[in-house]
Chain A
Amino acid sequence: MTDTHHTAPDDVLMGYATGTLSQAFDLVLATHVSLSDDARARLETFEALGGAVLCDLDAEDLDRAAPAPDSLQQTLAKIDGAAPAPRPTPHAKGLFPAPLQDAVGGDETAVSWRAVGGGVKQCVLHSDEGGIARLLLIPAGREMPVHSHHGSEMTLVLQGAYRDEGGRFARGDLEVADTEITHQPIAEPGEDCICLVATDAKLRFRSLLPRLAQPFIGI
Chain B
Amino acid sequence: MAAIAQNQDQAAFAELFRHFAPRVKAFLMKSGADASLAEDCMQDVMATLWRKAHMYDPARASVATWIFTIARNRRIDLLRRAARPEPEDLPWGPEAPPEQAEALALQQDTERLAAALAKLPEKQRSLVQRAYFGDLSHAEISLETGLPLGTIKSRIRLALDRLRHAMT
Residues of A near any B CB (own CB < 8 A): 10-12, 14-21, 23, 26-27, 29-31, 33-34, 37, 40-57, 61-62, 64-68, 71-72, 74-76, 78-79, 82-85, 87-88, 90-91, 97-99, 102-103, 126
Would B141 and A66 count as touching, CB distance under 8 A? Answer: no
Chain A facing B: main interface SS:
helix
In the complex, which residues of chain A have a beta carbon less than 8 angstroms from the beta carbon of B86? 30, 99
**Helix, strand, loop or mixed for chain B's interface?**
helix
Interface residue ranges of B10-59 to A (CB < 8 Å): 10, 13-14, 17-18, 20-27, 29-30, 35, 38-39, 42-44, 46-48, 50-55
Can you spell out 28 A-B residue pairs with CB atoms less than 8 angstroms apart?
A: A11-B139, A11-B141, A11-B143, A15-B141, A18-B132, A18-B136, A18-B141, A19-B72, A19-B75, A19-B134, A20-B136, A41-B160, A45-B156, A47-B61, A49-B117, A51-B64, A53-B132, A55-B23, A57-B23, A57-B30, A65-B23, A71-B17, A71-B39, A71-B43, A75-B47, A76-B13, A79-B50, A84-B53
Contact A48 B62 (CB under 8 A): yes
Q: Complex: how many Å from CA A68 to CA B23?
A: 13
Which chain A residues lie closer than 8 Å to B75 at the CB level?
Answer: 19
Residues of B in contact (CB 8 Å), total: 85
Find out whether the CB atom of A15 lies under 8 angstroms from the CB atom of B26.
no
Q: For residue A26, which residues in chain B have a CB less than 8 angstroms away from its CB?
A: 84-85
